[in-house]
Amino acid sequence: MRARRSGWRALVGGVCGLAVGLLTLSAADNWPQFRGPGGAGVAAPGARPPVTFGPSESVAWKTPVPSGNSSPIVWGDRLFLTGFADGKLLVLAYDRATGRELWRRELIPGSVEEVHRTLGNPASATPVTDGERLYVHFGSIGLLAFDLEGREQWRLPMTLTQTEYGASSSPIVAGENVIQLVDQDGDSHLLAVNRKTGRVSWRVDRPEMRRGFGTPLLWTHDGRTDLVVPGTLWLIGYAPETGEERWRVSGLARITCTSPVVGDGMLFTASWTTGGDRSADRITMPSFDEFLTLHDADHDGRFTFAELPDGPAKQRFKHLDGNRNQLVERAEWESMAAIFSRVENQSFAVKPDGKGGVSDAGVLWRFKKGLPYVASPVFYQGRLYQVKNGGFLTCLDPVTGTPKYVEERLGVIGDYYASLVAADGRIYVTSQRGTVIVVKAGDTLEVLARTDLGEVVQASPVPVDDLLFIRTATQLYAFRGASIGTAD
């Protein structure tokens, strides 16, 4: 990009300076990936999305959309989305100003991946763009790239995702590569693909990772950039150019649905999964030999689904059966037992040491209340916010982990799958039932507004300029706030 600007500077002199200025201005107006610039979930400083809005209030436009759980992204005058309808996977582009559909591309998979029976969707990963191409991941097809006019540039076929919930880790762009995390019941791996050619640059196998749905993050500190990847039990930093592991920090849940965030030189993450708390509800697994003695009816040294008694193991048969051969074998059982024995549900912060090293020794604090299941936390204005299912918001001091408030009721029950976003001194918290709670950023909970959109929302909101884009089960809304440069 620098070489291109330099060429224009030689040709048109001062006009280039204007072009660069406009490019810089428009960059702040973009939301190029899941959770926006840097995966932070924070709008540009000048953004003024609305506080109060609804299906018949502050609507700039709305348009029907196919089913899908992916969030919209914004680049320039366009908005991009994925969807699923009539057995076809869809990639769609809309006019940012009007909501008019500009193009759609239909992709017919050979088979559709398994997804959660009520909440899942084969279009759950959010696309990413570098301003030249649009990159999408479908667990039923693989990675694809399109130009911004919808012309397919390359395709990297991948095997069907091996989890009963489907794929939802979103791709990100790291230099010349597109990064895709595929943590699943078997063959978990991290992939880097050249963004121009679609050829694999490197691959890292992650056999100890058993299901994961978070999105990687680029963290620049101490003169280098780490590719931060959440996973089973571990948060791991890789060299984005090569995939070499640089560090790992313990403390994640056995299934990680959230994505990490950074702020003020620190790295934050929070995760929770059933059975991981140190309480009477904690899940443990007996020894494999002990269970064989009691339940191996055909004495072949492994378990079929029918042989397992009702309980945690049978409920998680697909999770245990990593190689999908309809049998639970010793290695699979013992791998999962080890995970259950070590898992800790918590949020934590880590800071590099004086030489830029990252390890458990750099963990500043660990906190075990108010934990999110799917909704990623947000760092904003010197505070860390996280939402627990049921409608409980927690605000932490990022340096010490000391709570400003813990599990304060938002007044809206139910699950929270959309990740938190922040804009203009406010936190936007979205319930799965479709209520958006706007909270004033600060040391005490102050709810400014509650908006019921009337249908399920699983995608994360997108605050850009004076607009708030929200995807519901059937609609894509653009709600308009105050004009840029004016107060609400």
Q: What does each C-alpha distance from 150 to 90, 105, 281 come to in angstroms? A: 11, 7, 49
- Cα gap 144→133, rounded to integer Å: 10
Does residue 88 have a pLDDT over 80? yes
**Residue 248: its pLDDT value, please?**
97
**Residue 334: its pLDDT value, please?**
81
Query: Span 440-447, mean pLDDT?
Result: 98
Does residue 278 have a pLDDT over 70? yes
DSSP-derived secondary structure for 246-311: EEEEE---SSB-S--EEETTEEEEEE--TT-SSSTT------HHHHHHHH-TT-SSSB-TTTSPTT
- Cα gap 479→26, rounded to integer Å: 20
Query: Span 259-275, mean pLDDT?
Result: 95
**Residue 482: its pLDDT value, please?**
67
| In contact, 418 and 461? CB cutoff 8 Å | yes
Q: Which pairs count as long-range contacts for 75-78, CB under 8 Å and 24+ apart, including other chains?
A: 75/30, 75/31, 75/32, 75/129, 75/131, 75/148, 76/26, 76/29, 76/30, 76/131, 78/102, 78/148
- Cα gap 268→262, rounded to integer Å: 6
Does residue 7 have a pLDDT over 80? no
**Residue 488: its pLDDT value, please?**
41
Output 24 or 257, whichever has higher pLDDT: 257
Which amino acid would we find at residue 89?
L
CATH 2.130.10.10 domain range(s) in the chain:
30-273+343-480
Both tokens assigned to 331 = 């290695």
Question: 142-154: per-residue pLDDT in tens?
Answer: 999 999 999 999 9
Q: What does each C-alpha distance from 476 to 52, 66, 71 come to in angstroms? A: 17, 10, 10
Q: In this structure, are strands 447-452 and 435-440 parallel, antiparallel, or unpaired? A: antiparallel
The CATH number of domain 30-273+343-480 is 3.40.50.2300: no
Q: What confidence category does residue 420 fall into, taking pLDDT thresholds of 50, 70 and 90?
A: very high
Does residue 11 have a pLDDT over 60? no
Question: 15-66: per-residue pLDDT in tens?
Answer: 333 333 333 334 568 999 999 999 999 999 999 999 999 999 999 999 999 9
**Residue 12: its pLDDT value, please?**
34
**Residue 176: its pLDDT value, please?**
98
Least confident of 1-5, 242-246, 380-384, 434-438: 1-5
Does residue 487 have a pLDDT over 80? no
Of the chain, the percentage scoring pLDDT greater than 70 comes to: 93
- Cα gap 298→374, rounded to integer Å: 40
Handedness of CA 256, 224, 41, 423 (dihedral sign): positive
**Residue 315: its pLDDT value, please?**
85
Does residue 208 have a pLDDT over 50? yes
* Entry field: residues in the chain: 488
Taking alpha carbons only, the member of 179, 177, 172 closest to residue 194 is 177
Does residue 430 have a pLDDT over 70? yes
Query: Span 402-408, mean pLDDT?
Result: 98
Q: Is 42 strand, coil or helix?
A: strand
Question: 324-345: per-residue pLDDT in tens?
Answer: 889 988 888 888 887 888 888 9
Which amino acid would we find at residue 333?
W
DSSP state of 113: P
Does residue 381 have a pLDDT over 90? yes
| In contact, 108 and 144? CB cutoff 8 Å | no
Both tokens assigned to 256 = 């990680």
Query: Span 105-114, mean pLDDT?
Result: 96
Q: What confidence category does residue 10 fall into, taking pLDDT thresholds of 50, 70 and 90?
A: very low
Q: What confidence category does residue 2 fall into, taking pLDDT thresholds of 50, 70 and 90?
A: very low
Question: 351-370: per-residue pLDDT in tens?
Answer: 999 889 999 999 999 999 99
**Residue 103: its pLDDT value, please?**
98
Query: Span 91-102, mean pLDDT?
Result: 98
Of the chain, the percentage scoring pLDDT greater than 90 comes to: 77
DSSP state of 322: T
Q: How many CB atoms lie within 10 A of CB 284?
A: 9
Question: 231-250: per-residue pLDDT in tens?
Answer: 999 999 999 999 999 999 99
Query: What is the overall mean pLDDT for the chain?
Result: 91
Both tokens assigned to 217 = 């993050």
**Residue 331: its pLDDT value, please?**
84
Question: 177-198: per-residue pLDDT in tens?
Answer: 999 999 999 899 999 999 999 9
Does residue 6 have a pLDDT over 80? no
